Chains A and B, each alone.
With several copies, the nearest count.
Chain A
């Protein structure tokens, strides 16, 4: 069976689905661009340091790089604190001499139980090791990960199996079909798996970006190719030999 031999109604049904999937993929891409760039409108290329920060940085570092950046005296200060966290965030001499100095210069004025500054955050004091260490764990928690993963895996599985099956019954060469279908599923697992792995090694942020890109490209490619196959005559070069 081939989708090209379906009746017109069925072709319309599949086409509606495939076009909607492409629109949804564009929306998702837009969302990712907004979340990982400093812009709040338009289509944006995600900024790698933000992706990395979201998936692997502790709340403390993410805040210093993000919303609290204006209060950081120099970028090197963030590196000092990141080094301390990477070394295990211990209550050691380095913490007392280096980290607390930066915290007291850059954070404590507002992050203090008694602060009366206009932007005081008395509920999140940074006065002691105990106050600070709770913001040093990086990336997704187990609960966040489990919640986000189950929603995305179920949701993506459902539309991707339909796209894949349409692709499987298109007239393209078998290697093209197998390649795109496999790429879609494997990229999905790599992407979501890396959300979690980035917590342990920030390099997985690159896997997230590449796998996410492959995922979007594979979905859009399959949808686009199937649409062509439904309504157009295709050049022989892309078709399965039996179809030529």
Chain B
């Protein structure tokens, strides 16, 4: 070594060695951080869907997600600007269960109700924003989006399906000014599953509206663009309005139910006007979906400023078009990417997070 260092060549060699070592370290690239995960834990307890967390949930680890973005500024939005959603998951041989909890100071249920006026007439209450969507007389909702095969979802989350108006008010070339700030659709051949929990329209029936997003990006093909309900054999929503459109057609048999802002089949009674000024009647009627659109069960309960929602679905669904419209938890060693969104009494303006989260099974 001594004689090596003594020669100019040896000295230069040492220098080169040194810089080479530094350089090779420099070339090592950083490892990308993985998504945060929600771990589903195996259970052998029966989970009762009642919007109350039984002790079986205690053994499931909690994932907390901060939602603090909104896609647009609705001019009459009075809801939350951020919310922390806490998630847990359990599974058994056949089903997966989710527990969702978040604080919401207002329980919003008055979705487009009819209200009796001073002159005896009936008026359907609405509060539309600049895009024609309601943020005043609406309902609390929650959406879980599950990736089926959308490019980039695992990294960017729901954002891959989100398309907002460009500078000229267009989406995919179609003028959407005054119609919608944004539209959801995927790239060709890709779908995303939506579990759309609706506190007024479906919660009383113990169901979630099971929907999906595909690549339809033309309003002439589908008014909701890429958003669709799953295939169904029956059930759904009907506006509660008489033929003259001057008032409701039906009412609830027992009007005392304060949460009754929809009319369920068991309550449905022809409308007889014995009401006083200010009385309200639901603007919508709901029947349980049958078929693929009605294969997710859920029950939410609002108590002391907090929504608690329990959800149950088969790990693998078998309804019509289930392979395209539903995420299938068929391989429990895989990670399933999802996103979550909260609608605080808003028709479309929703609190969201950036990126995606992963569900894994343990």
Contacts and interface: CB of A to CB of B under 8 A. Distances in A.
B11 to A, nearest CB: 6
Contacts of B15: 183, 214, 217
Interface residues of B, number: 42
A70 B154 CA distance: 11
A180 B71 CA distance: 60
A205 to B, nearest CB: 10
Given A47-B30, A49-B29, A70-B156, A114 B73 contact: yes
A206 B26 CA distance: 10
Given A48-B26, A112-B166, A176 B11 contact: yes
Given A71-B159, A73-B160, A47 B73 contact: no
A116 B73 contact: yes
Contact of B164 (A49, A72, A109, A176): A109
Contacts of B26: 45-48, 51, 209
Interface string A204-244: 00100110011001000000000000000000010000000
A90 interface: no
B187 to A, nearest CB: 9
Nearest to A218: B15
Contacts of B319: none
A237 B8 contact: no
Nearest to B167: A127
B160 to A, nearest CB: 6
B69 A118 contact: yes
A117 B81 contact: no
A38 B30 contact: yes
A38 B23 CA distance: 17
A179 B11 contact: yes
Given A45-B26, A47-B29, A105-B160, A116 B181 contact: yes
A108 B12 contact: no
Nearest to B33: A38
B contact patch SS: mixed
Contacts of A139: none
Interface string A126-162: 0110000000000000000000000000000000000
A41 interface: no
Interface in B1-54: 2, 5-6, 8, 11-12, 15, 18-19, 22-23, 25-30
Given A47-B29, A73-B152, A119-B69, A213 B23 contact: yes
A45 B22 contact: yes
B353 to A, nearest CB: 11
Contact of B166 (A37, A51, A108, A183): A108
A125 B162 CA distance: 18
B165 A114 contact: yes
B320 interface: no
Contacts of A20: none
B158 to A, nearest CB: 12
B345 to A, nearest CB: 17
A117 B152 contact: no
Contacts of B18: 213, 217
B164 A112 contact: yes
Interface in A56-112: 70-74, 104-105, 108-109, 112
A172 B8 CA distance: 13
Interface of B: 2, 5-6, 8, 11-12, 15, 18-19, 22-23, 25-30, 68-73, 81-82, 151-152, 155-156, 159-160, 162-167, 169, 181-182, 354-355
Interface of A: 37-38, 45-49, 51, 70-74, 104-105, 108-109, 112-119, 125, 127-128, 175-176, 179, 183, 206, 209-210, 213-214, 217, 237
